[in-house]
Amino acid sequence: MKLLNTNAANTKIAKTQASAAEPIRIASLSMMPNDTICPASKAAGCQADCLVSAGRGRFDNVAAARQAKTDYFMADQEAFIAQLKQEMHNFIKLCKRQQVKPVFRLNTMSDIKWESLLDLEGEFGAAEFYDYTKRAARLGKTPSNYRLVFSYSGRNEFRTQVGVARQVQVPIAVVFKGDELPSNYLGRKVIDGDKSDLYNVESTDCVVGLRAKGKAKRNDNGFVVEVE
């Protein structure tokens, strides 16, 4: 079983790769979220409506592949990490031959603390990393080549995480209902976050506005925000 997708099968990954200011290739890791690898998703209310069915996750074969990776990680983390490292090194070598910059998004559907499991600045210092996270304690504590966007939820159960995140200079992603994004939210300018993740991670003083898609359009538990 191959862990990394290096062909930009994810729509957002493809858009980000195509819109980059310099030639890049993005390798992503998509796993089926659960309370262990995405520990804040229950409080945020996003797991069922957003993460599980995100992107091509509505297809049975894609969901099964994501679940198999999660099962592998849960059953033998040491072997999983060893295989992941090898695939990452192979991808970096490929990017070097193609003269493009290697970029990784290892938490496409999960929220694993990779900065504690991988030597990102040392062993993988030639690459850049980015992710979205709901774990506010991670913010401002990642290596210089690993940038995070905080993922917002308006649920009361998630209020503490939001409070911590607002004290750190990081972009905050908010999922909105409808096609129109507000101009401001949380006292910040809202940018169109559906265009490029790399632009999103650089927009530290902004709210990254994302439009609800799939099952998330029907979310009514506070995770998805109504545009007033």
Residues 224, 212: contact at Cβ < 8 Å?
A: yes
**Cβ of 175: how many Cβ atoms within 10 Å?**
24
Residues 130, 12: contact at Cβ < 8 Å?
A: no
Would 212 be classed as within a structural domain? Answer: yes
Rounded to 5°, the CA angle 82-84-90 comes to 105
% of the chain with per-residue pLDDT over 70 = 95
Residue range(s) defining the domain that contains residue 145: 11-218
Would 100 be classed as within a structural domain? Answer: yes
Would 68 be classed as within a structural domain? Answer: yes
Would 56 be classed as within a structural domain? Answer: yes
Q: Where are the beta strands (DSSP E) in 42-127?
A: 101-105
Q: Where are the beta strands (DSSP E) in 50-169?
A: 101-105, 128-133, 146-151
Q: Please tell me the pTM assigned to this model.
A: 0.92
Q: Give the model's confidence band at 10: pLDDT under 50 very low, under 70 low, under 90 confident, else very high.
A: confident
Residue 217's pLDDT is what? Answer: 82
Would 62 be classed as within a structural domain? Answer: yes
Q: Which residues contact 134 (CB under 8 A, 6 or more apart)?
A: 38, 40, 41, 43, 44, 46, 111, 150, 151, 153, 158, 161
Per residue in 88-122, pLDDT (tens digit) is 999 999 999 999 999 999 999 999 999 999 999 99
Would 223 be classed as within a structural domain? Answer: no
Q: In angstroms, rounded to a whole number, what is the distance separating the alpha carbons of residues 10 and 15?
A: 9
Would 226 be classed as within a structural domain? Answer: no
Residue 56's pLDDT is what? Answer: 56
**What backbone torsions phi and psi does residue 38 show, to the nearest 5 degrees?**
-140, 65
- Weakest mean pLDDT among 21-30, 166-175, 198-207, 217-226: 217-226
Structural domain tally of the chain? Answer: 1
Q: Give the model's confidence band at 57: pLDDT under 50 very low, under 70 low, under 90 confident, else very high.
A: low
3-state secondary structure of 115: helix
Residues 149, 12: contact at Cβ < 8 Å?
A: no
pLDDT averaged over every residue in the chain: 91
Per residue in 68-93, pLDDT (tens digit) is 999 999 999 999 999 999 999 999 99
Would 55 be classed as within a structural domain? Answer: yes
Q: Is it the case that residue 21 has pLDDT exceeding 90? A: no
Per residue in 147-196, pLDDT (tens digit) is 999 999 999 999 999 999 999 999 999 999 988 999 999 999 999 999 99
